[in-house]
Amino acid sequence: MKELFGSPGTKSGLVLRIGQSLFAASSIGIMASASGFSTTTAFCYLIASMGLQFLWSFGLACIDVHALKFNKDLHNQIIVSLFVVGDWVTATLSLAASCSSAGVAVLFTKDTDICKVETNFSCNMFQISIAFAFASWSLLAVSSYVMFWLLASI
């Protein structure tokens, strides 16, 4: 079994999972503290989706730590299959949430003057939260590709 960058039970895999968790948690924190987010479905969905991604990535980070500590091998077909399905579902939901929020943020800031008129909207915080969500998704996309490649080559 060749050792791929980011595969489960390796240090690079652990770094990827920690990065995903941190970005997802930051995205949730910033969005939840922005005033006016709850009036928009897309922003609420972003929080829900990032919450799911945080739980998933943090859980896998714990499994990676366990595997590294006790020198366990996680490269068997059942475990990798589970990781692939989870990764792809989470990644698709995260991209969907990030893009729908980004569409609404562009509408607020560029297409209309809602951000200028509605002074109680924290438009900058919306944008920072969405940027973190995209960062988290891009790391998850790397993990997902590695997992899928691993499953196909097992």
Residue ranges binding a second copy (CB under 8 A): 39-42, 92, 95-97, 99-104, 106-107, 110-111, 148-149, 152-153
Residue 18 CB, nearest approach to a second copy (Å): 24
Identify the burial level of 110 via C-beta atoms within 10 angstroms of its C-beta, where 0-12 means exposed, 13-18 middle and 19 or more buried: exposed
Residue 22 CB neighbour total at 10 angstroms: 18
Residue 62 or 106: the one with the smaller Cβ distance to a second copy is: 106
| Pairwise CA distance, residues 29 & 87, whole Å | 22
Structure tokens belonging to residue 125 = 């915080």
Residue 154 CB, nearest approach to a second copy (Å): 10
The total number of residues shown for the chain amounts to 154
Residue 71 or 111: the one with the smaller Cβ distance to a second copy is: 111
AA identity, residue 91: A
Long-range own/partner contacts, residues 116-120 (CB < 8 A, 24 or more apart): 118/36, 120/35, 120/36
Residue 58 or 145: the one with the smaller Cβ distance to a second copy is: 145
Residue 126 CB, nearest approach to a second copy (Å): 12
Residue 20 or 49: the one with the smaller Cβ distance to a second copy is: 49
Residue 65 CB, nearest approach to a second copy (Å): 28
AA identity, residue 100: S
Residue 41 or 76: the one with the smaller Cβ distance to a second copy is: 41
Residue 114 CB, nearest approach to a second copy (Å): 9
